[in-house]
Amino acid sequence: SEELLADAFEADHAFMLTNGTTCGVQAMLLATTRPGDKIIIPRDAHKSAINALILSGAIPHYVHTDINQEYGIHTTVSLDAFKAAYDKEPHALACFIINPSYYGLTSDIKGIADFCRENELFLLADEAHGCHMGFHPEFPLSAMRAGAHMSASSTHKTSGSFTQSSVLLHRGTDSVRNNIKQSLNILRSTSASYLLMLSIEMARKQLVLNGENLLSSTLELARFARQEINKVPGLKSFGKEIIESSPAIHNFDETKLTINVSELGLTGYEMEEILRLEHRIQIELADLQNIMAIISIGDTEESISTLLNALRKIAGGRRIKKPDHPIILPEIPELIVSPRDAYYSSKKSVTLNQAIGEISAENVMVYPPGIPIICPGERISKDLIDHIKLLKSLNTNIQGPADPQINRLRVLGNPSKSA
């Protein structure tokens, strides 16, 4: 089965995962880095990658994504940003890339892959939301096709296998393959679910035999939904035109349906709650300005109509207005000590206000998407605390801190080492 998976995804080797793409992401870092090694990684990486830094001891050189002000979202990292990061960290061993982002945006992964190979860097791809992309010509380039060394891919998110099932793909030497095997021996359960593995096999078979037809229908539904949403006063949803908004954005997966609701006087979190409680619709993601729905091979004209009718009804009952003031995302915090050192350091618990100026010992994030607002080892600013207070006031699902009420944060008790 794993040989068939490798063939389907254009890899040399494939590994079935039954504890999610989190396992694959962490295995990639454990297989390629050791304590003290440098890795170039986007700051908007999923918490699984940040936690992998703790496990491996690798030291991140964070690269920042561009921000689209119209929608208030992080976009992607440009090839030039990766090159600039490598100029500052010429001893880095690996680059990490997200392909695509939660919002469906992709970097120039082919250019980044070529750059990594020219400089003997491993290119590791988090493809949690891009498992389907290699099976239809109108989707962005998959990591394996672009020339990445490894990719962790969620078959369960967009390809029909059971939740928690994923694949880890590898292209390269047997020595690295053996490193991956050893990493997976550390991370994987010794009691893997055969149901999950069988569902991966069935998803692979469906993609190979009928993936292009299924994805053609999915694209038609997504394009229709976006067209109809943009007719509704107070709502807007970007399409391929967003590629022109930033040189960092190379392509866009149209099945990711981001809907800005700010002109309705709502946050994305409030719209998510209205859809869930009043219309029994659970969308994938909410943020301060948007909701995001994933249109998948499981969707139908009926499911799209249900969503559209609910959005029209909600928008029709509200007065359209421009937002009073734009929502400003806080600056990315400064990394003071490595995530691993922060995790293993002595800690103290302080109130949110007392945390200002301290170094965080824990992740703080809204889930989904699971991208840390603060990572272990970063300096906590007043803007970050104000942002956390805003998110708390909106009853968002904040995860990471030991205090479930998010009234206190754990910070370093005796900060000394620097990253």
332 vs 191: which has the higher pLDDT: 191
- pTM, two decimals, is 0.94
- Taking 90 as the threshold, does the pLDDT of residue 165 lie above it? yes
Model confidence band, residue 329 (pLDDT cutoffs 50, 70, 90): confident
Could you read off the pLDDT of 347-370 as tens digits, one per residue? 999 999 999 999 999 999 998 888
Could you read off the pLDDT of 290-315 as tens digits, one per residue? 999 999 999 999 999 999 999 999 99
Model confidence band, residue 414 (pLDDT cutoffs 50, 70, 90): confident
- Taking 90 as the threshold, does the pLDDT of residue 233 lie above it? yes
Ordered by start, the domain boundaries in the chain are: 2-200, 211-316, 339-412
Could you read off the pLDDT of 335-350 as tens digits, one per residue? 999 999 999 999 999 9
234-257 mean pLDDT: 97
366-388 mean pLDDT: 94
* 2-200: CATH class: alpha beta
- Taking 70 as the threshold, does the pLDDT of residue 324 lie above it? no
What pLDDT, on the 0 to 100 scale, is given for residue 252? Answer: 98
Q: If DSSP states are collapsed to H, E and C, what string results for the chain? A: CHHHHHHHCCCCEEEEECCHHHHHHHHHHHHHCCCCCEEEEECCCCHHHHHHHHHHCCEEEEECCCEECCCCEECCCCHHHHHHHHHHCCCCCEEEEECCCCCCEECCHHHHHHHHHHCCCEEEEEECCCCCHHHCCCCCCCHHHHCCCEEEECHHHHCCCCCCCEEEEECCCHHHHHHHHHHHHHHCCCCCCHHHHHHHHHHHHHHHHHHHHHHHHHHHHHHHHHHHHCCCCCCECCCHHHHHHCCCCCEECCCEEEEECHHHCCCHHHHHHHHHHHHCCCCCEECCCEEEEECCCCCCHHHHHHHHHHHHHHHHCCCCCCCCCCCCCCCCCCECCCHHHHHHCCEEEEECHHHCCCEECCCEEECCCCEEEECCCEECCHHHHHHHHHHHHCCCCEECCCCCCCCEEEEECCCCCCC
The CATH T-level fold of domain 339-412 is Ornithine Decarboxylase; Chain A, domain 4 (3.90.100)
Least confident of 59-63, 81-85, 101-105, 323-327: 323-327
- Taking 80 as the threshold, does the pLDDT of residue 321 lie above it? no
- Taking 80 as the threshold, does the pLDDT of residue 328 lie above it? no
Query: What is the percentage of the chain residues whose pLDDT exceeds 70?
Result: 97
What pLDDT, on the 0 to 100 scale, is given for residue 323? Answer: 64
Average pLDDT, the chain: 95
What pLDDT, on the 0 to 100 scale, is given for residue 317? Answer: 85
Could you read off the pLDDT of 250-299 as tens digits, one per residue? 999 999 999 999 999 999 999 999 999 999 999 999 999 999 999 999 99
Candidate CATH numbers 3.30.200.20, 3.40.190.10, 3.90.1150.10, 3.40.50.720; the one for domain 211-316: 3.90.1150.10
What pLDDT, on the 0 to 100 scale, is given for residue 419? Answer: 63
Could you read off the pLDDT of 107-161 as tens digits, one per residue? 999 999 999 999 999 999 999 999 999 999 999 999 999 999 999 999 999 999 9
